[in-house]
A and B are shown apart, each in its own frame.
Chain A
Amino acid sequence: MSMTTIALADDHQVVRQGLQSLLEAEPDFSVVGETGNGIEAVQLVERLQPDVLVLDLMMPGLNGLEVTRQVSQRSPQTHVVILSMYANEAHVIEALRAGAAAYVLKESSSAELVHAVREAVAGRHYLSPPLSERAIEIYMQKAESTALDRYETLTAREREVLHLVAEGHTNAEIADQLFISRRTVETHRANLMRKLDLRTQTDLISYALRRGILPME
């Protein structure tokens, strides 16, 4: 049986001690080094080239994501297992993108951590529940650009003003029609031009034509 060499990086001495005794309870696991600092962690892994780095996401010096990134580059055979208190997909995705093999929540059981290390060594990904590949997919979809139509950002008033301006009404006429002050019309007008990224009256007319606000003739 080959030994799995493990390095530990966590800024709390107590946590490191706990993790070490927990992992070394496994006969084929050997903790070969430990550190409480992000920069030292990178150097440690580079020197020792362990099979696994168990890494706290929140680290002084260099945060866990950055450590993961550098370790992946300098010691590609080292599998990174992230320990995190954040059960959100965004963090998971970032960790995976940085090159982590497993993402384990701090509130998980010790058995789960051991399982995660074994999965990582076997070249598989592991995520603590309730995190899942499916949840990540859903998140990715949400995070994708939703092609916001700038027109949606116009308030009801701004839309009214846009229509009236496009029809060629003066600010004074619009003010009369909407029972608001001329100054307010001007403000709406300036706001809507900015929101729609229009500069001139000509831009506005062509936008109105494009959007069907004005009928094409």
Chain B
Amino acid sequence: MKDKKTKAQSTLAKDLCDNATGSVVTAGDITERQRAEEQLCQQSAVLDGINKVLLETLTCESQEEVARTCLAVAEKLTGSKFGFICELNQAGRFDTIAISNPGWDACTIPETEATLLLRDMEIRGIRGRVIKEERPLIFNNPAFHPDWGGTPEGHPRITCFLGVPLKHVGRTIGMIGLANKESGFVLADQQAIETLSIAFVEALNRKRAEEALRESEERYRSLFEDIPVGLYRTTPGGQILDANPALVEMLGYPDLESLLEANAADIYVNAEDRQRWQTLMEREGVVRGFEAQLRQHDGTIIWGRDSAQAIHDGKGRVLYYEGAVKDITEPKRAEEALRQRADDLAALYEASRAFLSHLDTQTIIENVCRLAVDRFRLKMAWVGLVVEGSFDVHPAFAYGFEEGYLDSIRVTWDDSPTGRGPTGTAIRIGQATIMNHIESDPNYTPWRKAAKARGFRSSAALPLRHGEQIVGALNVYSAEPAYFTDERVQVLQSFANQAAVAIQNARLFEQVRVGRERLQTLSRQLLEVQEAERRHIARELHDEVGQALTGLKLLLDMSTRSPADEVAANLSEAQAMISELMALVRDLSLDLRPAMLDDLGLLPTLLWHFDRYTTQTHVRVTFKHTGLEGRRFAPQVETAAYRIAQEALTNVARHAGVSEVAVRLWTDQDTLSVQIEDRGTGFDPEVALAASGTTGLAGMRERAVLLGGQLTIESAPGAGTYVTAELPLSDPLKGEEKGK
């Protein structure tokens, strides 16, 4: 409205002015009239200038542009060649805002230097006079003025100068200078510029305020955009009003728009966290260092630390909340890992102490399972041991939420469906094996149903290693999927390694103890056997051989004194006695050790022995064998097999009460096996083995064990007996067959 009015006025003034210049007036007091008209025209031009300054500067980009516009108006109005506008800076010196184009063009100072010269200039010369006197001054012959300080080199000569201070609320803030009006400056010029200066100051100030505002907005925006902290504004209801890119990225949203569609409550993993935040905010108006779990767009959980404040309107009502969130997932994780690490070390320490305090395998295995479950927060743990010579895994102990799980499953360690679970794989490849998703892992199929029924979501198996050998696995189950991280498995493996060492030690200790006991029993038995043998030989020598020799001696004595016709009969009798004696000695020597065993090998010796055995005991031997023909084995293997068969047959004859016994002998690449089976009375092997001596079972077993083999006795009262010896042909130099 105001603008329009101003424009209307100025148009009127212009018309008057044009008329004035365009026509010749012939009035009485022409000078007076002319002066009045000139004055009116001047006023109109000033108004027009003010209008122009206020309007045109609205669209100016910068203060300099505003100042240039002002200068252009001032130069046109006064008819001066060039000019400048400058302001007083904080130090009370000049900062040039603009030099009009004719002035800039007139200036021959190189631009870079000129720019420097134009900033922070000392206030002196005729310009200094204007600032000092705080009023407009005209210098129509400046070079002769006492304040004249000259111009820099290359500056055009100044013929006349008009300086007008720029004032704001009565205070001088700068000045405008105009120069080189052809006819020199007049008072009208001074008055016009003084009037215009108010508009100049207004326009410049307005632009300055705008610039300051924009600058601060820009500064805020760039902070908001660039800061590596998530910034946001939300309504008390949780609507997200704004968020910076850092927050969008932190929460994993594709863009700002999709985040703005979410509600703050959706971001919190736990609803009570948001509730707590809200309560704090309502009570305190500010929240500091609030830590909570946040959910990313894809569901991933992160940790955030939030500081926020409520922004109120003039009446104290909450407009919105403004806050900053920092992603502290990593520190949290590190903190958690550190705590976990401390726990793990404590568990390992406890484990080593617990393991060291026992020397009983079963107790140690039980401790291993208990500690694993308690210290690693597991659902269940069990130790499976490899059954020697088979692919079966024997569950030695389980602890935790087992609920018959192990009875319902079968685990092996071969490369078959029952061997491709964590346990079998860990044993087969000798490395920790993780199944973090029982739900979906194809290798878990045979056990999935049973595992799911008990809430097992992930599982891992850690091999138990004794040197090169894997003796079993520690198997652990968690109710959480993906529970077995690399770090956790690493610690569990250390735990399992300790357990393996403890189990190994206990086993060795047991072996040593059992071995020592067995050795004691054996040496006692050996002595007994030796004594029995000696007694037997002594009796044979005395009773049989001795007696025969005595008889022979008597017979020969008699012959020397007999009449000639009886000598032949006596000698014939002596011959018969000698034959008997020879047979006796031969049998005795065969009982001690059949030479055949060395000369001819196991098979002929056994065949010979069976004949003799049947003759002596009337127990028939059914003999079957395979793979033995023409083969010789190491002497100790042949001896052991022969002695075991001999001993077992003796037992059958003595105790079984049968008339028939089966002997089987077979061999393959690396084992010689002999088995004696009867359908007789049977016995309890444990009892018989414990009652050392009489049956020689312990001795038989010892023979097999000494060669690295084994002897199994299966018998029960009334159910007959199987004695099976398996002897390795291991020693590659001596154990190879000699062939013939």
Contacts and interface: CB of A to CB of B under 8 A. Distances in A.
A201 B628 CA distance: 29
Interface in A138-185: 139, 142-148, 150, 152-153, 155-157, 170-172, 182-183
A200 interface: yes
Given A156-B719, A202-B416, A146 B626 contact: yes
A57 to B, nearest CB: 8
Nearest to A157: B714
Given A143-B603, A152-B624, A187 B722 contact: no
B40 interface: no
A70 to B, nearest CB: 15
A16 B623 CA distance: 41
Interface stretch (A3-11, A20-28, A32-40, A87-95): A87-95
Nearest to B406: A172
A108 to B, nearest CB: 9
A155 B719 CA distance: 11
Interface stretch (B123-131, B220-228, B382-390): B382-390
A66 to B, nearest CB: 9
Name which of A58, A145, A150 has the most chain B CB atoms within 10 A of its CB.
Answer: A145
A146 B599 contact: no
Interface in B630-668: 664-666, 668
A60 B532 CA distance: 30
Contacts of A139: 607
Nearest to B415: A200
Contacts, number: 115
Contacts of B719: 156
A63 B626 contact: no
Contacts of B395: 182
Nearest to B417: A201
A148 B579 contact: no
A187 B410 contact: no
Contacts of A171: 392, 410
B623 A146 contact: yes
A85 B418 CA distance: 62
A189 interface: yes
Contact of B407 (A94, A170, A194): A170
Contacts of B586: 85-86
A209 interface: no
B78 to A, nearest CB: 112
B414 A201 contact: yes
B596 A88 contact: yes
A106 B582 contact: yes
Nearest to A85: B586
Given A190-B390, A194-B726, A63 B582 contact: no
A190 B583 contact: no
Contacts of B583: 107
Interface string B391-419: 11011000000000011111010101010
A153 B627 contact: no
B596 A193 contact: no
A190 B388 contact: yes
Given A90-B605, A107-B583, A201-B418, A187 B664 contact: no
A191 B392 CA distance: 12
Contacts of B409: 170
A186 interface: yes
B394 A183 contact: yes
B668 to A, nearest CB: 6
B629 A143 contact: yes
Nearest to B721: A155
Contacts of B571: none
Interface residues of A, number: 44
B509 interface: no
Chain B interface mostly = mixed
Given A190-B389, A194-B389, A200-B391, A90 B600 contact: yes
A143 B601 CA distance: 12
Contacts of A137: none
Given A148-B664, A153-B664, A202-B416, A189 B387 contact: yes
B607 A85 contact: no
B608 interface: yes
A161 to B, nearest CB: 11
A86 B587 CA distance: 10
A139 B624 CA distance: 14
Given A65-B599, A88-B608, A186 B387 contact: yes
A143 B607 contact: yes
A134 interface: no
Given A190-B387, A199-B414, A201-B391, A90 B714 contact: no
B724 to A, nearest CB: 7
B511 interface: no
A85 B582 contact: yes
B675 interface: yes
Contacts of A146: 623-626
B673 interface: yes
A143 B412 contact: no
Contacts of A144: 629
B582 A145 contact: no
Interface string A74-97: 000000000001101011011000
Given A58-B595, A139-B607, A170-B408, A145 B391 contact: no
Nearest to B388: A190
Given A139-B607, A170-B408, A186 B390 contact: yes
A171 B387 CA distance: 12
Contact of A148 (B394, B600, B611, B624): B624
A200 B416 contact: yes
Contact of A91 (B391, B600, B666, B726): B600
A193 B387 CA distance: 12
Given A150-B666, A189-B390, A201 B605 contact: no
Nearest to A186: B387
A197 interface: yes
B604 interface: yes
B712 interface: yes
A199 B599 CA distance: 37
A147 B392 CA distance: 30
Contacts of B675: 153
A65 B600 CA distance: 10
Name which of A148, A156, A170, A190 has the most chain B CB atoms within 10 A of its CB.
Answer: A148
Interface of B: 387-392, 394-395, 406-410, 412, 414, 416, 418, 579, 582-583, 586, 595-596, 599-600, 603-605, 607-608, 611, 623-629, 664-666, 668, 673, 675, 712, 714, 719, 722, 724, 726
Nearest 9 pairs of A and B residues by beta carbon: A90-B604, A190-B390, A148-B626, A172-B407, A146-B624, A148-B624, A170-B410, A155-B722, A186-B387
Given A88-B604, A150-B666, A172-B408, 9 more contacts: A88-B596, A91-B600, A146-B625, A152-B624, A153-B673, A170-B408, A190-B390, A194-B726, A201-B412
30 contacts: A63-B599, A85-B582, A88-B608, A90-B605, A90-B608, A91-B596, A91-B604, A139-B607, A142-B607, A143-B604, A146-B623, A146-B624, A147-B626, A148-B625, A148-B664, A152-B624, A155-B722, A155-B724, A157-B714, A170-B409, A171-B392, A171-B410, A186-B390, A186-B394, A190-B390, A191-B712, A195-B673, A199-B414, A200-B414, A200-B416
Interface of A: 58, 63, 65, 85-86, 88, 90-91, 93-94, 106-107, 139, 142-148, 150, 152-153, 155-157, 170-172, 182-183, 186-187, 189-191, 193-195, 197, 199-202
